[in-house]
Chain A
């Protein structure tokens, strides 16, 4: 009981809450299995003790009481006695009620447990909070104490400051006082000194007066015989003239000295001027050849300036002897100008030199270590990059070769690589097609022409046969009628004179070139020779015309020049066409 009570009410300890250890201990003890056992024991013991609740005598009361209790618990079941005496109970409702009660009990136990847990948690957190609180309280106290201490020190410091300020004021006052004392003392001292000095002077005066008054006998000079002056002159009387001469001599002396110093200064000046001139000359010498080349655009300006300088220099030289201020200024100005120029020039040269040096350094074999390192690093980097690139390429290639992914992407990739080539190929293909077409056309023309030739030949044969037959028949008496009919048909060939034949040839040619009205002359009755030449010509012309359709115009124009030319031209063209058909187009283009 004791133990059970202790275990059932762990919060008692918690609330007493000495330390966490106990709570933890109780926690450990509260393992679920043991708890249930203990509960069982508890209930058993309770039962055994309160076994006197229901006896055989008070069953109805007990029932009533229990019913009431159950009702108060909200259980609708009423336990009834199966018999009026109540010895036996109705089992079902009782069991139900017991079950309900057990359920309730279990639920309560669960809740209780949870609450205990929560309580534990809360208590621990409370503990923590309390601890924190106490710590904070301590801190607060500490800081309060500190604060008070600081207040105290501040107060003390302020007090000290005040006293120090007072001291400072006092010291300042004292310093002022001392200063004033010093000043007064100084003035007093100087006054005293002056007084003393005056007194001394007075005393001295008096002493000398006394001495003079006494007519000191001892005060004497005893010379055997007077000496002559060191310069051999006789001593002079003191006169105003002498005074004036002294003055004059003094001034003469001073003047001499000044003259001398002036002379030396002039000499020095001249010397310096000479140096300046030389410097300037050298400067100009140095500057003049480089300036036009280096300055370029400003060369004219510079030249003008130097001219000016020259002028000023000349003028300064002219006036050098006069040593007038103007000339000096000019000289110094020009020198200054030159100097500035020289300085600029030198600076520029310096810059250039440094640049050149830099370049040389970078170009030299003996490159500085750092540059070398940098360069090496850079190159290494580049090599690395290249390697990576190559690697990537290889990978891609391999992927392409051992392609495992779908053909579409592969094709796409392939297309990517061969697009350009394809294009080129297509172009060439197109060209080739065109040429082929041309060639086909030519061949067709040629075959057509051959066919036509064959037909014409046949016609000619027929004509000849007819002519022979006619001729043969002419020998017969009905010649006139026959002749008349034939002259009607072949008028163009038979009647026209020589130049007209030429013209007709031209017409034929034109017809041949235009192609549409190409036909062999039907009459070959006049002479065989002209018609064959014509035929040849035509035959030769055909491939040319077909290959260069668009050059007809040129052809027609040039054809007017003369027969011979045409022939040569056509010949050469024919040659071209047959041999180098592919290039024919291009050449024609260039010709047109």
Chain B
């Protein structure tokens, strides 16, 4: 495993282009584009202010830099470095900006969620979408970029508008059976839209592309409900994490529950079903494999505070839909890995500190996670490994993201970043070493 030298970055703005060739980082008001293979600086752009959001266009030709404080957006072209584009939202303000899937339009959400402005870079045309709903996830594009779903709120009712991204034609607009819609997400195949209610009510609705309600699922009533929702890449499963510390898996044929994963504080043999449970504490033993039963530290949430730290808040499927990783907020030090074929617990990765971020390798069933210390943790079905980042000055991994090839990881510190290259053979070796431990 190799590490690059450290590079500066700010606001943890560092992204690899979708084609995987370039690495864009923002340092204050400068945008730096490097070649991924050589890490040579290819372009250097200067923005008007400190960048608060940065995004690659889908064709990897343009980079969007948003400066929310000033309500400004600047777009840079890789092919034509002297081409420039500036969008000013003016006094109405800006809270969010994103590319449309075609990479020729920019969607800006104004302050107070007054409207969504769609700017076309082709025609300079501007169009508005009124009444966007301020919620957890109000806009979602289908994976192939054909459609966009937008949550709306009118007359104290929730609506969903489906637009054709090609020409922003409103395809469907329908009212949803929610009290207070909280989020929506397209299935990876783009045919089903999952809509869920706010945490006050456990309700997940599934709509077809043409606005038909396919199914409604509610696990219980009178308690805090859905916390997060995630589709499996195969569109086969819909995982719902909720405040009752459970993950429920719905299937794509009957939309009924087929499995339920609990997150108990103590794990005994019966729950692990013969699989090993991993514990990855820090020093003195970098990684340790414990056989069940084990106890996981639980933090009791403050009941008087809003958004209590309890329940499953993060769910991530591996790229092959084989594994599901979850985090229960009142057991922040543990990441749970579930086997979706056996529908059982595969491993529990217990850390000494709270897990900040975890992400699956886009190519392999391999999970990378960080806890805000100088180590990188990797888990694969064959074993797990922890790697000290060999950087001076106490580089602490706050966040991480995989390159689309799965060859390396970008580790983000507070104001630095570093690339971690996976040597396939070496990785295998280390894995094997840990396999022996198993």
Contact = CB atoms under 8 A, between A and B. Distances in A.
A interacts with B: yes
A211 B111 CA distance: 12
A264 to B, nearest CB: 10
Contacts of A198: 155-156
Interface residues of B, number: 47
| Most B-side CB within 10 Å, residue of A194, A204, A242 | A204
B122 A221 contact: no
B153 to A, nearest CB: 7
Nearest to B62: A227
Given A197-B153, A253-B191, A254-B191, A226 B86 contact: no
Given A223-B124, A257-B191, A246 B171 contact: yes
Given A208-B114, A224-B83, A226-B121, A218 B91 contact: yes
Interface stretch (A157-165, A230-238, A300-308, A356-364): A230-238
A243 B169 contact: yes
Interface in A420-444: none
A201 B85 contact: no
Nearest to B187: A257
Nearest to B106: A221
Interface string A435-463: 00000000000000000000000000000
Interface in B389-435: none
Given A242-B169, A243-B169, A218 B90 contact: yes
A77 interface: no
A390 interface: no
B164 to A, nearest CB: 5
B343 interface: no
A251 B112 contact: no
Given A218-B91, A219-B92, A221-B124, A230 B169 contact: no
Given A204-B112, A216-B91, A219-B88, A194 B156 contact: yes
A235 B83 contact: no
A489 to B, nearest CB: 135
Contact of A225 (B83, B92, B156): B83
Given A221-B119, A246-B164, A254-B191, A216 B90 contact: yes
Nearest to B121: A227
B126 A221 contact: yes
A229 B102 contact: yes
Contacts of B130: 208
A238 B90 contact: no
B59 A230 contact: yes
Interface string B142-155: 00001100000111
A228 B120 CA distance: 10
A98 interface: no
Contact of A254 (B122, B131, B164, B208): B208
Contacts of B91: 211, 216, 218-219
A222 B86 contact: yes
Interface string B94-125: 00000000111000000011110001011110
B164 A230 contact: no
Contacts of A193: 156
Contact of B210 (A204, A217, A230, A250): A250
A574 B264 CA distance: 115
B190 interface: yes
A197 B155 CA distance: 8
A226 B122 contact: yes
A353 interface: no
Contact of A204 (B104, B114, B167, B190): B114
Given A238-B169, A250-B209, A253-B146, A227 B122 contact: yes
B169 A216 contact: no
B89 interface: yes
A242 B168 CA distance: 11
B272 interface: no
A21 B164 CA distance: 122
B295 interface: no
B167 A242 contact: yes
A577 B171 CA distance: 134
B84 A224 contact: yes
A265 B251 CA distance: 14
Interface residues of A, number: 40
Contacts of A197: 153, 156
Given A197-B156, A219-B90, A250 B104 contact: no
Given A226-B122, A251-B210, A219 B156 contact: no
Nearest to B71: A218
A195 to B, nearest CB: 9
B87 A221 contact: yes
Interface in A164-202: 193-194, 197-198, 201
A148 B169 CA distance: 92
Nearest to A247: B171
Nearest to B191: A257
Contact of A216 (B92, B123, B153): B92
Nearest to B113: A204
A223 B126 CA distance: 13
A208 B115 contact: yes
Contacts of A243: 169
A506 to B, nearest CB: 114
Contacts of B119: 221
A235 B123 contact: yes
B189 interface: yes
Contacts of B82: 224
B114 A207 contact: yes
A219 B89 contact: yes
Contacts of B190: 253, 257
Contacts of B164: 246, 249-250
A242 B170 CA distance: 11
A366 interface: no
B169 A235 contact: no
Nearest to A243: B169
A50 to B, nearest CB: 114
Contacts of B59: 230
Contacts of B104: 227, 229-230
Interface string B181-193: 0000000011100
Contacts of B114: 204, 207-208, 211
Nearest to B192: A257
A238 B190 CA distance: 24
B156 A223 contact: no
A28 B84 CA distance: 142
Contacts of A227: 104, 121-122
A257 B190 CA distance: 9
Contacts of A211: 90-92, 114
Contacts of B121: 223, 226-227
A197 to B, nearest CB: 5
A324 interface: no
| Most B-side CB within 10 Å, residue of A197, A219, A223 | A223
A220 interface: yes
B123 A226 contact: yes
B124 A226 contact: yes
A200 to B, nearest CB: 8
B16 to A, nearest CB: 20
B295 to A, nearest CB: 40
A211 B189 CA distance: 39
A318 to B, nearest CB: 28
Given A221-B86, A250-B210, 12 more contacts: A198-B155, A198-B156, A204-B113, A211-B90, A217-B90, A218-B90, A219-B91, A222-B84, A227-B104, A238-B169, A246-B171, A250-B164
25 contacts: A201-B153, A208-B114, A208-B115, A208-B130, A218-B88, A221-B85, A221-B119, A222-B84, A222-B85, A222-B87, A223-B85, A223-B124, A225-B83, A226-B122, A227-B121, A227-B122, A228-B122, A235-B122, A242-B167, A242-B169, A250-B171, A251-B210, A253-B190, A253-B209, A257-B190
Interface of A: 193-194, 197-198, 201, 204, 207-208, 211, 216-231, 235-236, 238, 242-243, 246-247, 249-251, 253-254, 257, 261, 265
Q: Which 3 A-B pairs have the closest CB atoms?
A: A219-B90, A218-B90, A216-B90
